[in-house]
């Protein structure tokens, strides 16, 4: 899958779930529930114990149609290992220029967490196509509008504090997509399937 195919898929779906867990089994169960709910773009974080083994297992277990990305990537070494084991995009809590270079080398999307205008412009200078506004709970939808004043073409994906109650506000503010963690990925299989469908229905409704 090419870089812009991934970005287009993120935009079309409108949401990237953040998957954490205490084991590979828990992470896999979360992934399967999200897929059953219609979400086939998954950010699997490297905070999961033995994360690289988990990543390998997920690539073997999940359908080929799933776009799997690596989250909480803190350095270029981790980014490369994730890419070599099938990651189609890389997400970081903050911007790192060496990770940006690594992703550019492999022609994969790098989605760094940024908050200030300075961080965002620096990330854009290094070829970042999608900014993870993090933590979104501290910024709010109005901040997206403020960013788009001087940077109207910046693609923004708020993560942290995104929920069903404020989805409409975020998309009305002009976000590219949203990232959702514990507000989406929690509970049992049926809970996550239900929540996934609700998120997708809401996003479709807002965009229409």
pLDDT in tens, 78-98: 999 999 999 999 999 999 999
The whole-model pTM stands at 0.96
**Owner of token pair 């965009």:** 207
In a domain, 80, yes or no: yes
**Owner of token pair 């229409």:** 208
pLDDT in tens, 94-131: 999 999 999 999 999 999 999 999 999 999 999 999 99
**pLDDT bracket for residue 58 (50, 70, 90):** confident
* Collapsed DSSP state (helix, strand, coil) of residue 132: strand
In a domain, 73, yes or no: yes
pLDDT of 24 reads: 84
Residue 77 sits in a domain of what CATH number? 3.20.20.70
* Listed residue (4, 19, 34) closest to 155, CA to CA: 4
Between 125 and 52, the higher pLDDT residue: 125
In a domain, 141, yes or no: yes
Residues designated catalytic: 43, 132
**pLDDT bracket for residue 60 (50, 70, 90):** confident
DSSP H or E run through 29: helix 24-36
Q: How many domains does the chain have?
A: 1
* Listed residue (192, 176, 139, 124) closest to 13, CA to CA: 176
Strand ranges inside 26-109, DSSP E: 41-45, 67-71, 90-92
**Is the bond leading into 135 cis (omega within 30 degrees of zero)?**
yes
Q: What is the extent of the structural domain holding 66?
A: 3-203
Residue 46 CA: distances (Å) to CA of 54, 74, 120, 206:
9, 9, 23, 32
In a domain, 208, yes or no: no
* Listed residue (180, 146, 173, 138) closest to 10, CA to CA: 180
Read off the tokens for 42: 């998954």
pLDDT of 127 reads: 96
Q: Enumerate the β-bridge partners of residue 156.
A: 131
Report, as an integer, the average pLDDT of 154-177. 97
In a domain, 160, yes or no: yes
pLDDT of 59 reads: 85
- Edge to edge, what strands does the sheet with 90-92 contain? 156-158, 131-133, 110-114, 90-92, 67-71, 41-45, 15-19, 178-180
**pLDDT bracket for residue 47 (50, 70, 90):** very high
**pLDDT bracket for residue 10 (50, 70, 90):** very high
Mean pLDDT across the chain, nearest whole number?
Answer: 95
In a domain, 23, yes or no: yes
Measured between its terminal Cα atoms, the distance across the chain in Å is 28
pLDDT of 39 reads: 98
State how beta strands 110-114 and 156-158 pair: unpaired
């Amino acid at each position: 899958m090419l870089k812009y195919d991934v970005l287009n898929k993120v935009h079309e779906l409108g949401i990237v779930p953040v998957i954490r867990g205490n084991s590979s089994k828990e992470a896999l169960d979360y992934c399967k529930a999200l897929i059953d709910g219609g979400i086939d773009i998954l950010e699997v974080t490297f905070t999961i114990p033995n994360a690289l083994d988990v990543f390998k297992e997920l690539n073997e277990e999940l359908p080929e149609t799933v776009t799997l990305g690596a989250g909480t990537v803190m350095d270029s070494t981790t980014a490369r290992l994730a890419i070599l084991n099938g990651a189609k995009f890389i997400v970081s809590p903050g911007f790192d220029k060496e990770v940006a270079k690594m992703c550019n080398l492999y022609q994969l999307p790098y989605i760094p967490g940024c908050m200030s205008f300075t961080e965002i412009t620096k990330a854009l200078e290094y070829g970042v196509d999608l900014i993870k506004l993090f933590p979104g709970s501290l910024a709010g939808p109005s901040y997206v509008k403020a960013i788009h004043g001087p940077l109207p073409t910046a693609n923004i994906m708020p993560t942290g504090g995104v929920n069903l109650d404020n989805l409409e506000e975020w998309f009305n503010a002009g976000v590219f997509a949203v990232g959702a963690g514990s507000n989406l990925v929690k509970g049992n299989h049926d809970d996550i399937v239900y929540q996934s469908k609700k998120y997708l229905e809401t996003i479709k409704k807002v965009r229409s």
